[in-house]
């Protein structure tokens, strides 16, 4: 008998009402009134959690020179920008980063087990250009970091880098048509163009656990791994932990990768879990060299495009990457934009998505039972929420770790997480777990590009601050540049399109920005700046097309995808999706760029600028 919310499929009966109710309960027992306020910044008294353990600080003389292009951030976004600018003939490029080398997230995240969770052949950029091929389908973090170094060398980007340096101020000098740049190392130099690519998940965060500062054992964050204490390397062999009792807090994408290594080497391991991740099949394997050598020129671009198309729900003849991501495309469209089947009503589509979602989650929960031998542990490891409420996880090692006798899963959900720390223990309710070391796998602050958060003040024309100009939210053309802030470009997922293969998104953005700069130079443009009309038109387009995902996110367990359950993060992306957006950018580039290039004889544009100056 089918109830209203009960749906019969070929082989399974799914009671959607019961599943919805279970999801609601699991969400409610995790909601905290303090939301994102529950975390502490790795700053001030906790600043040492963000200290660079990999590179000694080097003293150097301040720079007072001039460069053509300053790129802030030397992760893949900055490297790709540098590479495309170099290809476009720009000679003077300066990469700046707080890290001691290039690599961005792969510079910082060197914890044991760190790997790409998107197929390396589409994730690692410029493989053909640099003559590289990943050794595995999901490459190690160190291999990816070495690839970042390879890109920097190939495009001669080390020539003028400033590492261990944070930009502290950008001021537009209209007379010189240059940016005046200041940094925390006393630099005061000038740059004709400034491009920021400072990442979205960079600043480590810590849980605000009462008593955290009283703990006398050893602690660190996964993104600043202390191999001096644990021994070993990112490949494992953590011999320093053989006689140690270790607690790890956090079971997100990082936890999934690091916990198998801690389990293998710690004397005792307590895994402090609040919300279980989904853990689907990983299926990593070495690169098939016969396949690799058979690839024809242009293969990587084709494969990246194909992956993006499949994820965005666009029709393709063949899906070239078949993995956990391509299996679940219909489930991803709640969070990631893209095409939807217009042949069915919204209600019918939502109902079908919900059934697909429930079937996927049932399969993932059944996998836990297949692998984990202790029934109570297996039950606690089952995720009860819709698939895209959290970053999907993949591992063929994680669940297996809980079958080891030295590993204990501690479910903290009823207590909203770890409740306290003492000199020598982690507390969960009335239980104390005495440990020598606590590893925080507790993630990163979200969306904190310095420009957006205000830690990097930007003064544009007439000294107007960017955040002041944005009073009621970001205003950009295509997400990259803003009227009143000439020659300033931003990379990142803001008022444009996104995808799980974020490096591909960055590549398209970098290529676009470099093409505009190349055209500006070829045309002897005075500067690059969108007209107020073009900017207003784009903001309107983004809002008109934005898909409201607030209802979906409101039902989710808390996490950084939904502002820890207190706010829906919505309206920031171009909902027709990345494939459509990239097409739009290509078509726009084929035009005359007259809505961004300001020429010396461009009286109308210069007059518009003068009037804006008078008005402000």
Residue 492 neighbours by CB distance under 10 Å: 24
Among 196, 202, 275, 330, binds ligand NDP (CB under 6 A): 275
Q: Measuring CA to CA, which residue among 336, 338, 310, 305 is closest to residue 323? A: 310
Which of left, alpha, beta for 530 (phi over 0: left; psi -120 to 50: alpha)? beta
DSSP bridge partners of 62: none
Q: Determine the Cα–Cα distance for residues 112 and 441; give it in Å rounded to an integer.
A: 12
- Segment contacting ligand NDP (CB under 6 A): 67-75, 109-117, 538-546, 577-585? 109-117
Distance in angstroms (rounded) separating the CA atoms of residues 578 and 69: 27
CA distances from 82 to 118, 214, 501 (A): 23, 45, 20
Identify which of residues 200 and 531 has a Cβ nearer to ligand NDP in the complex: 200
Distance, in Å, from the CA atom of 511 to the CA atom of 292, rounded to the nearest integer, reads 26
Q: Which of 392, 417, 474, 484 binds ligand NDP (CB under 6 A)?
A: 417
Total count of residues recorded for the chain: 616
Of residues 337-356, which lie at the interface with ligand NDP (CB under 6 A)?
Answer: none
Binding residues for ligand NDP, how many (CB under 6 A)?
Answer: 29
300 binds ligand NDP (CB under 6 A): no
Which of 71, 116, 503, 542 is in the footprint of ligand NDP by CB under 6 A?
116
Residue bearing tokens 């006798």: 405
Q: Which residues contact 263 (CB under 8 A, 6 or more apart)?
A: 269, 401, 402, 404, 406, 407
| Three-class SS state of 451 | helix
**Is 421 a residue that touches ligand NDP (CB under 6 A)?**
no
Task: Write down the least CB distance from residue 564 to ligand NDP, Å.
Answer: 7
Instruction: Please report, as residue ranges, which positions from 551 to 570 form the binding site for ligand NDP (by CB under 6 A).
Output: 558-560
Distance CA(25)–CA(88), nearest Å, equals 55
Q: Are 329 and 310 in contact (CB under 8 A)?
A: yes
Binding mask 195-234 for ligand NDP (x = CB under 6 A): ------x-----x-x-------------------------
Q: Does the footprint of ligand NDP cover residue 192 (CB under 6 A)?
A: no
Residue 288: CB atoms within 10 Å: 10
CA gap 222, 258 in Å, rounded:
8
Interaction of residue 252 with ligand NDP, rule CB under 6 A: yes
Site string for ligand NDP, 17-56 (x = CB under 6 A): -------------x--------------------------
Binder of ligand NDP out of 251, 329, 330, 337 (CB under 6 A): 251
Residue 496 or 501: which CB sits closer to ligand NDP?
501
Find the DSSP H helices in 412-569: 450-453, 466-469, 502-522, 532-545, 550-554
- By CB under 6 A, is residue 249 in contact with ligand NDP? yes
Closest to ligand NDP by CB, 125 or 559:
559
Closest separation in Å from C-beta 201 to ligand NDP: 5
- Per CB under 6 A, residues contacting ligand NDP are 30, 115-117, 201, 207, 209, 249-255, 257, 272, 274-275, 391, 412, 417-418, 441-444, 558-560
């Amino acid at each position: 008998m089918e109830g209203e919310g009960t749906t019969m499929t070929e082989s399974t009966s799914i009671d959607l009402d019961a599943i919805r109710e279970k999801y609601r309960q699991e969400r409610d027992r995790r909601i905290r009134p303090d939301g994102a306020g529950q975390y502490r910044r790795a700053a001030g008294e906790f600043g040492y959690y963000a200290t660079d353990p990999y590179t000694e600080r080097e003293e150097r003389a301040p720079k007072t020179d001039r460069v053509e292009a300053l790129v802030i951030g030397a992760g893949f976004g900055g490297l790709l920008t540098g590479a495309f600018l170099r290809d476009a003939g720009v000679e003077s490029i300066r990469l700046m980063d707080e890290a001691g080398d290039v690599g961005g997230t792969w510079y910082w995240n060197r914890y044991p087990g760190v790997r790409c969770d998107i197929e390396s052949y589409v994730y690692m950029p410029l493989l053909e250009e640099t003559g590289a091929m990943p050794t595995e389908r999901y490459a190690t973090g160190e291999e990816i970091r070495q690839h970042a170094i390879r890109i920097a060398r190939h495009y001669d980007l080390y020539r003028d880098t400033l590492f261990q340096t944070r930009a502290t101020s950008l001021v537009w000098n209209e007379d010189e048509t240059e940016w005046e740049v200041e940094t925390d190392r006393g630099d005061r130099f000038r740059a004709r163009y400034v491009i920021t690519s400072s990442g979205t998940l960079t600043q480590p965060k810590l849980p605000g656990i009462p008593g955290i500062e009283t703990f006398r054992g050893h602690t660190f964050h996964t993104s600043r791994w202390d191999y001096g204490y644990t021994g070993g390397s990112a490949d494992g062999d953590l011999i320093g932990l053989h006689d140690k009792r270790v607690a790890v807090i956090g079971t997100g994408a990082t936890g999934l990768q690091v916990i198998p290594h801690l389990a293998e080497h710690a004397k005792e391991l307590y895994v402090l879990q609040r919300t279980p991740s989904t853990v689907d099949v990983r299926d990593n394997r070495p690169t098939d060299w016969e396949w690799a050598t058979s690839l024809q020129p242009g293969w990587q671009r084709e494969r990246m495009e194909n992956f993006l198309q499949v994820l965005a729900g666009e029709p393709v003849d063949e899906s070239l990457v078949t993995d956990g991501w391509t299996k679940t495309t219909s489930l991803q469209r709640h969070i990631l934009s893209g095409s939807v089947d217009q042949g069915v009503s919204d209600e019918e589509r939502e109902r079908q998505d919900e059934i697909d979602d429930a079937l996927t989650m049932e399969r993932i929960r059944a996998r836990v039972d297949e692998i984990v031998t202790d029934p109570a542990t297996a039950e606690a490891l089952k995720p009860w929420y819709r698939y895209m409420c959290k970053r999907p996880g993949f591992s063929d090692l994680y669940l297996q770790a809980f079958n080891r006798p030295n590993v204990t899963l501690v479910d903290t959900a009823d207590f909203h997480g770890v409740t306290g720390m003492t000199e020598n223990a982690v507390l969960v309710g009335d239980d104390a777990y005495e440990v020598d070391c606590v590893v925080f796998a507790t993630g990163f602050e979200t969306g904190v590009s310095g420009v957006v958060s205000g830690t990097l003040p930007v003064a544009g024309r007439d000294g107007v601050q960017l955040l002041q100009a944005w009073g009621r939210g970001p205003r950009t053309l295509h997400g990259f540049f803003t009227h009143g802030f000439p020659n300033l470009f931003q990379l990142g997922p803001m008022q444009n399109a996104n995808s799980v293969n974020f490096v591909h998104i960055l590549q398209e953005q970098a290529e676009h920005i470099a093409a505009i700069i190349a055209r500006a130079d070829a045309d002897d443009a005075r500067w690059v700046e969108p007209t107020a009309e073009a900017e207003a038109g784009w903001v309107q387009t983004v809002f008109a097309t934005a898909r409201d995902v607030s209802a979906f996110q409101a039902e989710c367990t808390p996490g950084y995808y939904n502002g820890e359950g207190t706010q829906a993060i919505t309206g920031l992306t171009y909902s027709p999706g990345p494939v459509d957006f990239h097409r739009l950018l290509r078509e726009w580039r084929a035009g005359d760029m007259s809505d961004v290039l300001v020429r010396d004889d461009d009286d109308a544009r210069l007059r518009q600028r003068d009037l804006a100056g008078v008005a402000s």
